[in-house]
Amino acid sequence: MVVRILVTEDDENLRIAVDGALRGAGYAVDTAADLPEADEALSVNAYDGAVFDRMLPGGDALAYVIERRRGGWPVPVLFLTARDTVRDRTDGLRAGDDYLVKPFAMAELLVRVGALCRRGGTTVTLPVLRHGDLELDTGRHEARRAGTLLILTAKEFQVLHRLVAAAGEPVTRRDLIAEVWDEYVPPNSNVLDVLIAQLRRKLGPRQILHTVRGVGYMIR
């Protein structure tokens, strides 16, 4: 069963990053930049979960969700927000089902979305991705090459997962940094270079992780 998620976020970079992370984890994703776009998507599609930035052009998503709840709308909601006072969090939890404060790790967002969908009665089965002799079990967060388990950190697994999910297409440095770290890490940071070097050592001598000059990285 394909699990369908609506992501409503006005920050384009974050919207793209969340979209890529969810798609890489096996979800079907639609995105909206504001409440009118979200409203249109909800009028024509059925969703298993929704992710809303709290403050959006045109209003507060919390008030929008409360109004929909009054009409019997059952879709579980995760709010993303920089507002982190106790009142903000409790208001968000009353209106929705979960509340994640920015900046956040994409790994945490994926776990929360999975829990959210299960809470809503949706069975979430995350796929096993394969590329040649490389296998990624996205449910267990395990990677194997030629049957041998690779000991990876959480971020190493996320980067490898994103590259394998791209199915042979390059992924930009900017997207990898935004999806695996957060929007506050500058694109020229060397954190990705260090991690890529570690991944290459762990993947072994027959390299499948390649640099695409001026773009980023890819698996082939």
CATH topology match: 4-119 vs 128-219: no
User: pLDDT tens digits for 126-163?
Assistant: 567 888 899 988 767 789 999 999 998 888 888 898 88
Q: What is the model's pTM?
A: 0.61
Which comes out higher in pLDDT, residue 184 or 200?
200
The order of strands in the sheet holding 142-145 is 128-131, 134-137, 142-145, 148-150
Residues 83-94: tens digit of each pLDDT: 666 666 666 566
Gap between the Cα atoms of 92 and 123, Å rounded = 25
- Pairwise CA distance, residues 151 & 145, whole Å: 11
CA distance 22 to 136: 15
Element housing 150 (H / E)? strand 148-150
pLDDT band at 118 (very low <50, low <70, confident <90, very high): confident
Give the mean pLDDT of 179-203. 81
Q: At residue 208, does pLDDT exceed 80?
A: yes
Query: What is the residue extent of each domain of the chain?
Result: 4-119, 128-219
Confidence of residue 200 (pLDDT cuts 50, 70, 90): very high
Strand, coil or helix: what is 71?
coil
pLDDT tens-digit profile of 1-51?
578 899 999 999 899 889 888 887 778 899 999 999 999 999 888 898 999
4-119: which CATH architecture? 3-Layer(aba) Sandwich (3.40)
Q: Which of 8-12, 50-54, 60-64 has the lowest mean pLDDT?
A: 60-64
Task: Note the CATH number of domain 128-219.
Answer: 1.10.10.10
What whole-number distance in Å separates Cα of residue 146 and Cα of residue 150? 10
